[in-house]
Amino acid sequence: MALHQLKYPYRKFILPMAKKISWINPDVFSWMAFVVTFCTGYCFYAGNSNPKLYLYVILLIFLRMTLNTLDGVVAIQRGDDNRIHGKIINALPDRYGDIFIVGGILLSPICNDLIGLLGLGTMFLVSYSGMLGKALGVSWQGHGPLDKVERLVLLMCFAYLQYRGFSINAPQLQMGDYSFYYVEICMLLFFVLGQITVLRRVHGIYKEDKELNNNLEKGKNE
C-alpha cells in the first residue's frame, strides 16, 4: 500500500474532532500549516548548530500533515470542499511550504548547494508532472514513488538520522571515498525517486491519452 493511502484511515480517526470544530473555516488550517512549514524549514536550516531542532522537524511535519488532513475533512463537513477559493488556499500555500522546507535544507551549512538544488528542482518537477495530466485533458497523475506523503515521511526519517548522527558525533555517512550528511542523502533520494516519479507520471499521461483516443475511434466506428 502506498503511504499516501494512509490518509484515509487517518481521516476516519480525526473525523470526530473535525465534526466538533467544523465551525472553523478550513482555510484557517491551511494557513496554520503554512506557518508550521516555515518553522520546519528554519529547523532544518539551523539544525547543525542545535541538533535537537531535527527532532522538532519530526513533530512539525506530523503537525502539518494533521492540519492538512483537518483542512480537507472540515471542508467536507461544511460542504465547502468544491469551492475554488478553498482549493487554491489548500494547494498554493502547500507549494510554498515545500519550498520553505527543502529550501531550509538547501541553505543549511551542511548541505552541498548542488545536491540541495537537485532535491528542490526535482520536487517542482514532481508537482508539475502531477498537474500536467489535468492540463492536457486526462486525470491528475498521482503515481509514486515520491508523492507528497512519501516526501514528508522521508524528511522525518532523515531528520531523525541527522539528529542521531550528531548525537553520536558521526553526522556524516561514509560511502567509499565520499561522505554525506543525512540531509544530503535525503536530497539525493528526492532526486532519484523524483525522476522515477516524473517518468511514471508522463507514462500515465500517454497511457490515458491513448485509451481516450482508442475509445473515440471505437465510438466513431460504431
* pLDDT tens figures, 13-64: 777 777 777 777 878 888 898 999 999 999 999 999 999 999 999 999 999 9
Q: What is the pLDDT of residue 3?
A: 61
Taking the model in full, what pTM does it have?
0.87
Cα distance from N-terminal residue to C-terminal residue, the chain? 39
In eight-state DSSP terms, residue 141 is P
Neighbours of 198 (CB within 10 A): 20
Please state, in angstroms and rounded to a whole number, the distance separating the CA atoms of residues 165 and 177. Answer: 19
Q: Are 41 and 107 in contact (CB under 8 A)?
A: no
Q: Residues in the chain with pLDDT < 70? A: 1-8, 10-11, 79-87, 89-90, 219-222
Q: Are 50 and 112 in contact (CB under 8 A)?
A: no
Q: What is the pLDDT of residue 156?
A: 96
Q: What is the pLDDT of residue 52?
A: 96
Coil, strand, or helix at residue 174? strand
Domains and CATH numbers, the chain: 3-221 (1.20.120.1760)
